[in-house]
Amino acid sequence: MTDPILELRHVGVTLTGRDGSVNEVSQDVSLELAPREFVSIVGPSGAGKTTLLRVAAGLRRPTAGEVRFGGKPLTEVQAGISVVFQEYNKSLFPWLSIFKNVAMGARRLPVAERSSRVRGALDMVGLQGFESRYPWELSGGMQQRAALARALVSDPKVLMLDEPFASVDALTRGLLEDVVGDLWERSSFAALLVTHDVGEAVYLSDRVLVLSTRPSRVLAEVKIDLPRPRSQGSTRQLQRFVELEAQVLGLVHQAGRSAAGERPAT
Amino acid sequence: MGGPDKAEKVRASSSREAPDLVAFESVETQVVSPAVMGNFRSRRNVRVRRRLRMAGGVVIAIGLWELVSVTQLVSSTALSSVSATAAAIGSNAGVLFSAVGQTLEAWAVGLAIATVAGVIMGALVGRSRIADALTETLVRMMRPLPSLALIPIAILVAGLGLKMTAGLVAFTSFWPIFINTRYGVAQVERLLLETATTLGLRGLALIRSVVLPAAAPLIASGFQVAVGLALVVTVSVELVGGTGGIGSYVLAAQQGNAVANMYAGIVVGGFLGWVLNTGFAGLFRRLLPWANQREGSE
């Protein structure tokens, strides 16, 4: 097996509030992401999925364990990792046109290449013709496409997606899932998706990791052996898809239930 | 989940400062209701009707002025008629023009200093908890100081003249710019900053390319308050110190019993304020089109 591009080794996160309260969000989470692999993290709400993603992206330091990216310890944000957040309306820059927003993602590229790369990224997500528009002039789905273009313009090794489609309607969500799926098939990045939508996780991923409630650990790993390329119309009809979705859903519910009672043995 | 909760908390703690600032909307004189926004034609009609009414208000005020002066409700030694005032503006156009020039000079120099200092210090204090705590009490003590009470100090330091006037203008107009910048910079969305960080922005580039633009709507509304404040202080200092400009013109006219000239100066000063306010409001509407856009549709 190839070396993982991203690795979380026994990562623990404990938040300390200003009032001194201590909140153990994650406890001993380990995961590996192979190059070009698509992995999703699901879990009951409050499992600290978003916090874990922030740690994996280098936005937050873990209180225990370590994150490794490309075989080296990751201690801060680094080129090669792109992040798309749920709240596109707060992560796009409203004073910049769509073109310039995406160009912000191309800052690390040679100047001569930037324009053509930005144009290429906008084409990939289907936003050609909207270069000079402003984010607030576009629908939520289109804004998230712009955020995706900005994340991918730098040709990252890892794309992290934090509940990227939670703020759009169901139809748009399906379309965006396919945009991400297609881009992933055509490009060379590995993807780490945090979502509470089990169907979405199963639909897009190679593997789905189920987290427990706080303090979270990886409860289970489910391999998704669905054929690729996938499409909303056919893949979700497959008997295997329905089985896998039910299996993961069952694990998430089990994780949620155990929150109230005793912890399951690992 | 931890993330959003914390962001809420941060926002709640910084909104303690909220009473100090002036919302961008309140500076706008024109508020278009969302229902009207959709329909461009009716939106335009609403705007035209509003302009007409605004002009109507001015006409009514001039009419009342004329009525009060014709009926001698206020004696003619204290109030000149509209026509006499208009005539005085006409015959003193040259002098008034250069007085406006002098006033604008002190106004512009003072405001420019206040803007540079206010934005730089506001950004610094807004980004640093230590700087915020260090300056908090000082700000609360110095802000309410009436700038006119500082004239004696200013004269001692700078002597009578442009330097003194501009200095006092700078002192007064510094506060709204500083306070709005500080708040605007402190309340930039954490997500926006994190996004910028993942894109490789940090340090000065982060401040210049993300923090200041994100805070720009609030900085602009602080600046607009400062525009008016600066003019009030400029004219007041000129009036007290006799350092030239519209203020001194009005004072000299009053001392020479030239009532019509006095009112001419006042009217010109008022007009100047209107031009500056409207001009900057229009400029910021153009420069910051997203300021009144909260979020996208859908």
Domain identity same for B252 and B140: yes
Q: CA nearest A48 in B: which residue?
A: B1
Closest CB to A91 among B2, B3, B191: B191
- Chain A residue numbers with beta carbons less than 8 Å from the beta carbon of B296 are 89, 135-140, 143
**Residue with tokens 């962001």, as numbered in its chain:** B7
**Residue to substitute from A25, A26, A77, interface B, most B β-carbons within 10 A:** A77
Q: Which of B18, B53, B79 is the last residue of a domain?
A: B79
Check B192 against A91: CB less than 8 A apart. Answer: yes
Identify all chain A residues contacting B191, using CB atoms and an 8 Å cutoff: 85, 87, 90-91
In a domain, A177, yes or no: no
Q: How far is A266 from chain B, CA to nearest CA, in Å?
A: 24
Answer yes or no: do B136 and B49 share one domain.
no
Taking CB atoms and an 8 Å limit, are A89 and B296 in contact across chains? yes
Mutation target to probe the B interface, by most B beta carbons within 10 A, among A42, A95, A143 is A95
User: A16-30 pLDDT, tens per residue?
Assistant: 888 888 888 888 899
A201 located within any domain = yes
Same structural domain, B54 and B89:
no
pLDDT of residue B40: 60
Considering the domain architecture, whether residues A44 and A91 belong to the same structural domain is answered as: no
Yes or no, beta carbons of A57 and B216 under 8 Å apart: no
Does B220 lie in the same domain as B171? yes
Per-10-residue mean pLDDT, chain B, length 298: 41 40 41 48 84 94 92 88 93 95 96 97 93 91 87 89 93 95 94 93 92 95 96 94 91 93 95 96 90 51
User: What is the domain extent for residue B139?
Assistant: 81-287
A82: nearest CB among B192, B198, B213: B198
A214 touches B: beta carbon within 8 Å: no
Q: Which residue of A has its CA nearest to B189?
A: A90
Give a yes or no: residue A138 inside a domain. Answer: yes
Q: Is residue B272 part of a domain?
A: yes
Chain B residues touching A89 at Cβ < 8 A: 295-296
Three-state SS for chain A is CCCCCEEEEEEEEEEECCCCCEEEEEEEEEEEECCCCEEEEECCCCCCHHHHHHHHHCCCCCCEEEEEECCEECCCCCCCEEEECCCHHHHCCCCCCHHHHHHHCCCCCCHHHHHHHHHHHHHHCCCCCCCCCCHHHCCHHHHHHHHHHHHHCCCCCEEEEECCCCCCCHHHHHHHHHHHHHHHHHCCCEEEEECCCHHHHHHHCCEEEEECCCCECEEEEEECCCCCCCCHHHHCCCHHHHHHHHHHHHHHHHHHHHHHCCCCCC
Same domain assignment for residues B152 and B227: yes
Contact A91 B195 (CB under 8 A): yes
The residue out of B12, B44, B79 marking a domain boundary is: B79
**A13 lies in the same domain as A69:** yes
Residue contacts between A and B (CB atoms, under 8 Å): 82
Cross-strand partners of A14: A24
Question: Has residue A205 been placed in a domain?
Answer: yes
Which pLDDT score is estimated for B102? 95
Residue A13 is assigned to a structural domain of this protein: yes
pLDDT for the residue numbered B4? 43
Say whether both B42 and B175 belong to one domain.
no
A178 within some domain: no
Q: Are residues B144 and B35 in the same domain?
A: no
User: A89: which residues sit within 8 A by CB, 6+ positions away?
Assistant: A135, A136, A140, A143, A167, B295, B296
B192 belongs to a structural domain? yes
- The shortest C-alpha distance from B272 to chain A (Å) reads 31
Choose the final residue of a domain: A112, A137, A155. A155
Backbone angles phi, psi at B285, to 5 degrees: -60, -35
Q: Does A187 touch chain B (CB under 8 A)?
A: no
Task: Return the number of other C-beta atoms located less than 10 Å from residue B297's C-beta.
Answer: 11
Chain A residue closest in CA terms to B211: A93
User: Which domain does A91 fall in, by range?
Assistant: 81-155
If you average pLDDT over residues A196-203, what whole number do you get? 94
* Pair B67, B200 in one domain: no
Q: Which residues on A lie below 8 Å from B1 (Cβ)?
A: 45-46, 48-51
What pLDDT score was predicted for residue B243?
86
CB A95 within 8 A of CB B287: no
Same domain, B224 and B176: yes
Q: Does A140 touch chain B (CB under 8 A)?
A: yes
Cα distances (Å, whole numbers) of residue A107 to A89, A131, A159, B151? 21, 17, 17, 50
This complex has an ipTM of 0.87
Q: Are the Cβ atoms of B298 and A87 closer than 8 angstroms?
A: no
Q: Does A176 fall in a domain?
A: no
B75 and B163 within one domain: no
How confident is the model at residue B24, as a pLDDT? Answer: 41
Mutation site for A-interface testing, chosen from B8, B187, B284, B298 by largest number of A Cβ within 10 Å: B298
Both B64 and B89 in one domain: the answer is: no
Give the minimum alpha-carbon distance from B298 to chain A in angstroms, rounded to a whole number. 6
Number of domains in chain A: 2
CB contact under 8 A, A134 and B289: yes
Query: What's chain B look like in SS3?
Result: CHHHHHHHHHHHHHHHHHHHCCCHHHHCCCCCCHHHHCCHHHHHHHHHHHHHHHHHHHHHHHHHHHHHHHCCCCCCCCCCCHHHHHHHHHHCHHHHHHHHHHHHHHHHHHHHHHHHHHHHHHHHHHHCHHHHHHHHHHHHHHCCCCHHHHHHHHHHHHCCCHHHHHHHHHHHHHHHHHHHHHHHHHCCCHHHHHHHHHCCCCHHHHHHHHHHHHHHHHHHHHHHHHHHHHHHHHHHHHHHHCCCHHHHHHHHHHHCCCHHHHHHHHHHHHHHHHHHHHHHHHHHHHHCCCCCCCCCCC
Residues B128 and B177 in one domain: yes
**pLDDT for residue A255 is more than 90:** no
Residues of A in contact with B10 (CB under 8 A): none
Q: Are residues A138 and A264 in the same domain?
A: no
Q: What is the CATH number of the domain that holds B255?
A: 1.10.3720.10
Read off the pLDDT of residues A62-87 as tens digits, 9 standing for 90 and up. 999 999 999 999 988 999 999 999 88
Instruction: Tell me the shortest Cα–Cα distance from A208 to chain B, in angstroms.
Output: 20
Minimal C-alpha gap between A133 and chain B (Å): 12
Q: Is residue A63 part of a domain?
A: yes
* Tally of domains in chain B: 2
Claim to verify: residue A94 and residue A150 sit in the same structural domain: yes
Say if residue A215 is in the same domain as residue A255. Answer: yes
- Chain B hits for A23, CB-CB cut-off 8 Å, are 2
Distance CA B10, CA B212 (A): 19
| Cβ-contact A43, A255 below 8 angstroms | yes
How would you classify residue B128: left for phi > 0, otherwise alpha for psi between -120 and 50, otherwise beta?
Answer: beta
- Say if residue A4 is in the same domain as residue A51: yes
Please report the pLDDT score of residue B10 as a whole number: 39
- Residues A81, A26 contacting (CB under 8 angstroms): no
Q: Do A97 and A224 belong to one domain?
A: no
Residues A190 and A263 in one domain: yes
The string of pLDDT tens digits covering residues A89-112 is 889 999 999 999 999 999 989 999
Provide the phi-psi class of B72: left if phi over 0, else alpha when psi is between -120 and 50, else beta.
Answer: left
